[in-house]
Structure 1
Amino acid sequence: MTPPQPPTTAAPASGGRVCEHPDRADIRLEAVLHALSDPMRLRVVRTLAARGAAAACSEVELPVSKSTSTHHFRVLREAGVISQTYRGTSKMNALRREDLEALFPGLLGSVLAAADGQDGRLGPAAGAVRT
């Protein structure tokens, strides 16, 4: 069951299209942990972290349908883990690293390190990211 989502505010976008994001103060730990608990969403986060820059949805390879991929990006955005903005016809995704670090110091780094450690123990898993 998905935890309740906090109120959202609009993020700037081009062409009048906006993506709704929670304000930093409204990001909840349980929503972030829920978002990070899914292997596909963790793969998105690991990919964005490895890139160190925003990426279009199509640049993040997920072995799921487009509609399922869209769902995973939405969960991450609504939890406050990523920000999404439109650039032309692409939706660009970036980690809200600064916001997460301010609210939950060390959480994102610990999750990413744990995922890397798990790959080392069990071999590259479905969530592994190649850089």
Structure 2
Amino acid sequence: MDAIQDALFNGMAAVVVALVGWLTTKLVNYLKELGNTEKLANKQYLVDIAVNAAEQIWQNEDGAIKLANARKEAIKLLNENKINITDAELQNLIEASVKAMNDAFNSTKVGVIELKEEGK
């Protein structure tokens, strides 16, 4: 009887240890993902500032000049905040920021009403 109880206890202990290990792995992965999400949100926030500034300051310039200045300002802001970013990531974040800005602008446009003369 003691042997059966010892075997059951050892089996239960092994299951508990395995379950704790699995839960710990899931928790660590979740916290890492949460940290990465927060880092990405911080990067996007700073890039949004740079893109909006470029749009305001260089509004009469063409897109290439605005993009160059937005990149320069974004890199400056990211460096000041000690945030590393790759060129590809920066390009994607700038494009996302510009798209969001354009979508917001287009959603606030008032519809244009065309007036037509009768008979034409």
Q: TM-score, normalised by structure 1?
A: 0.31
Greater Rg by CA: 2
Structure with higher RCO (Cα < 8 A, 6+ apart): 1
Larger proportion of helix: 2
